[in-house]
Amino acid sequence: MEMYGKIRCVTFPELVSQGGILSIPSYKKKVREGKLRVVRPGKGAGSCALIDYNTLPELIRQAYDRLYPNAKEELKEQFMSNFIKSDSKAIEFYKTYKPAISLERQSEYVLNVEVMNEMFRVEKETEAMHKKCGYIRKSVVWETVLGTCEKLRERYNHTLPANATRLRQKYNAYKRMGYVALVNRNTGNQAARIILADEARLLLKLRRSIVPRYTESQIFEEYNRQAVERGLNTIKSPTTVKNYLNDPAVMPMWYAAVYGMQKWKAKYASLLKTDLPQMRDALWYGDGTKINLYYRDANNKMCTTSAYEVMDAYSETLIGYDIAPHENFENQYRAYRMAVEFAGVRPYEIVTDNQGSHNKLASEGFFKKICRLHKPTMPYNGQSKSIESTFGRFQQQVLHKLWFFTGQNVTAKKLNSKPNLEFIEENAYALPTLEEMKKIYKQCREEWNNSQHPATGISRIEMYQMSENPEAQPITDADIVQMFWLTTAKPITYTNDGVKPEINKKKYHYDVYATDGMRDVQWALRNTGRSFQIMYDPMDMTRIELWEVTSGGLKYSTTATPKVTVSRATQERTTGDTSFIFRTIEQNRLIMAAIQLEGERFDLDEHIAAELFGLSTPKPKNISKKKMGIYREQNDRGELDIPLSLPQKRMQEEEETDMALDYSTTGEYTKTVSNLTIDDVYNRF
């Protein structure tokens, strides 16, 4: 079955040659009699006749449906989607949402939004196709949308409801409300409960149990029964049991016992891929290699160094690299960042070896951010990575031309694969320096990329640029933040001097500023003394993000910039420096005055003011009496901006007349206090 314009048709082979529903003479007779409507005559091999399905006689249509029961479903699946597109607006929305959402939950919400967006696109396209065909069947449209959701669940493991009714409710809410429809109502609360070791063992025992076999709800009931007998803490919600057992770190411990080892292997064991890709960015290889070139160090000694290379497997184009003596996290980070920025898209798959630095990248979620699939190769199995072969040919065809070539690896047997050490040592004085060697190596990489690929005869870089990968998602600025920004290992406390993180053994100094260039006082007063983890871009330290450490995970708070520095020497200050100093001093005075006046108001309302007891409230030392008077007048007029307000008193019924004070302003209050006697004070309390 296939579509011809806006008509659903069956093919001639389905009716006659393959299906055998009609013989050829019978088919021709029914066509002559007009009982079969042929919308496209056959034109030989590759272009068979198409017959309108809706005009088939009833008996023939029933026979067709029995023979091809899945034809309609297969036709409908043509409209279903297999991949999603990123939504940078959703990333920003959940990042800045209040109350703050943890990083893990943000990723879940963004994925669900992207799936919803694709469902919406499929819905509109299916409706448009139905309209062209002259009908609209909402049930069929929804089945197509639902099928898209389930296909995307298999590929991306999103968390939208599996139940069709609940999914439709969530989908309709998303179309009405937008991003906020996906936010859990418990956001901001500590919904997860910590599972201790003994509790975890009991939960795993019940999940792994074969006789009897328990469901999750039965595990909740049986756990609480046994917990009382064992003296363990009971669990109040079945959700706690579900969240723990389905945690990715816990599932491997019971998955095989429940579903069998073959299912476990299919879910958790490394997959093997042997065929090279047929398009760019489908597979990238990353590996470290020795740069087979000698250079002269500061002591005029012959030295070599290494590089980490990232290669597109389809075209053999070297798309990212970094030179360093040892392969480590920073070395690989810079290479992959160069590769992603050069490609402008996320690769589908990255394959690396099992080096410790690769494991560190994987454990920190680095590869999950920049690709859909990351796989390690078998250790000590160079033939499983085409990049090893590429390195060998790169050395033979390009680096070998240079007189200070070190030769290939020690297993090479050909004489021309080995260096002429006598000549090199004799001319060691002419070896390039490290910086010169880096420039030479860059030129060698460009020569390799611009040379012909053995399979196509065109240059590797042209082969890469001419190819298109429809499933490679273009990257945005928001994607760069998600992929390449790092987080400090330890929380840092914010003080009145800002934050001073130490990154890669280098100290930095940041503070939080408002749009007017001055310190953000409102944020600072609420967060001084609070601990934050720092997210930063190693390639651009002009701004960092402060993420609050909470029981629910890291939550975005604000962005900080380098601390403004001014010279102590008046002679060396600029006009801007001088202005900033005076504005900061005035800001500090205003804040102290505002806090003082707000405190006085609070003490007055709560009847704990020192003046009520014949004492005096101390005034700020750094503010003159005249200046304080100006601030007080501004406050009385409601013109003073108070950055940190104390809780307001609730409206209460009018107190007894003998408890009322005859003042409404600070001046009236002072006059009233001056007329009080000690007996009046004691009588009030």
**pLDDT at 256 (0 to 100):** 85
**pLDDT at 567 (0 to 100):** 75
Task: Give the torsion through C-alpha atoms of 461, 467, 469, 475, to 10 deg.
Answer: 40
Q: Where are the domains of the chain?
A: 2-77, 88-182, 197-268, 284-466, 485-562, 581-684
Would you state the structure tokens that stand for residue 240, as one six-digit string?
């706690």
Residue predicted with more confidence, 645 or 611: 611
Q: Is-same-fold flag (284-466; 485-562)?
A: no
Mean pLDDT across the stretch 64-87? 74
**Assigned CATH topology for domain 284-466:** Nucleotidyltransferase; domain 5 (3.30.420)
Q: Write the pLDDT tens digit of every residue in 138-149.
A: 887 888 888 888
> What are the residues whose beta carbons fall under 8 Å from the beta carbon of 167, sequence distance 6 or more?
146, 149, 160, 161
Beta bridge partners of 549: 554
Q: 88-92, 173-177, 348-352, 578-582 — which is least confidently predicted?
A: 578-582
**Res. 442 pLDDT band, cuts 50 70 90:** very high
* Whether residue 564 has pLDDT greater than 90: no
Mean predicted lDDT score pLDDT of the chain: 81
Residue predicted with more confidence, 436 or 413: 436
Q: For residue 309, which of 326, 285, 342 has the smallest C-alpha distance?
A: 285
Q: 171-175, 522-526, 533-537 — which is least confidently predicted?
A: 522-526
**Residue 340 near residue 346, CB atoms below 8 Å:** yes
**pLDDT at 34 (0 to 100):** 85
Residue predicted with more confidence, 658 or 334: 334
Q: Write the pLDDT tens digit of every residue in 107-137.
A: 999 999 999 998 998 888 888 777 766 666 7
From residue 408, alpha-carbon distances to 46, 393, 437, 511 in Å are 54, 10, 17, 52
* Whether residue 652 has pLDDT greater than 60: no
* DSSP assigned state of 458: S
Mean pLDDT across the stretch 656-683? 51
The sign of the CA dihedral 386, 388, 389, 391 is positive
**pLDDT at 638 (0 to 100):** 73
**pLDDT at 365 (0 to 100):** 76
The sign of the CA dihedral 364, 369, 372, 374 is negative
**pLDDT at 81 (0 to 100):** 58
- How much is the pTM? 0.50
Largest CA distance in the chain: 123
* Whether residue 322 has pLDDT greater than 90: yes
**pLDDT at 186 (0 to 100):** 66
**Res. 5 pLDDT band, cuts 50 70 90:** low
Q: Write the pLDDT tens digit of every residue in 274-312.
A: 567 889 999 999 988 899 999 999 888 999 999 999 999
Q: 186-190, 379-383, 431-435 — which is least confidently predicted?
A: 379-383
Q: For residue 558, which of 571, 579, 544 has the smallest C-alpha distance?
A: 544
From residue 15, alpha-carbon distances to 26, 45, 52, 59, 450 in Å are 11, 16, 12, 12, 55
- Which of 48-62, 246-260, 435-449, 601-615 tops mean pLDDT? 435-449
* Whether residue 3 has pLDDT greater than 80: no
Q: Write the pLDDT tens digit of every residue in 162-219.
A: 999 999 999 999 999 999 999 886 665 544 456 788 888 899 999 888 888 898 889 9
**pLDDT at 679 (0 to 100):** 54
Mean pLDDT across the stretch 352-361? 74
**pLDDT at 669 (0 to 100):** 54
Would you state the structure tokens that stand for residue 20, as one six-digit string?
């055998």
Mean pLDDT across the stretch 216-239? 90
Q: How far is CA 90 from the centre of its chain?
A: 11
* Whether residue 446 has pLDDT greater than 50: yes
Residue predicted with more confidence, 683 or 39: 39
> What are the residues whose beta carbons fall under 8 Å from the beta carbon of 552, sequence distance 6 or more?
102, 188, 189, 190, 191, 192
CA distance 428 to 302: 7
* Whether residue 363 has pLDDT greater than 70: no
**Assigned CATH topology for domain 485-562:** OB fold (Dihydrolipoamide Acetyltransferase, E2P) (2.40.50)
Share of the chain above pLDDT 70, in %: 85
Residue predicted with more confidence, 436 or 645: 436
Q: Write the pLDDT tens digit of every residue in 469-497.
A: 888 888 888 888 878 888 888 899 998 88
* Whether residue 621 has pLDDT greater than 80: no
**pLDDT at 396 (0 to 100):** 87
Q: How many CB atoms lie within 10 A of CB 44?
A: 6
CA distance 386 to 390: 6
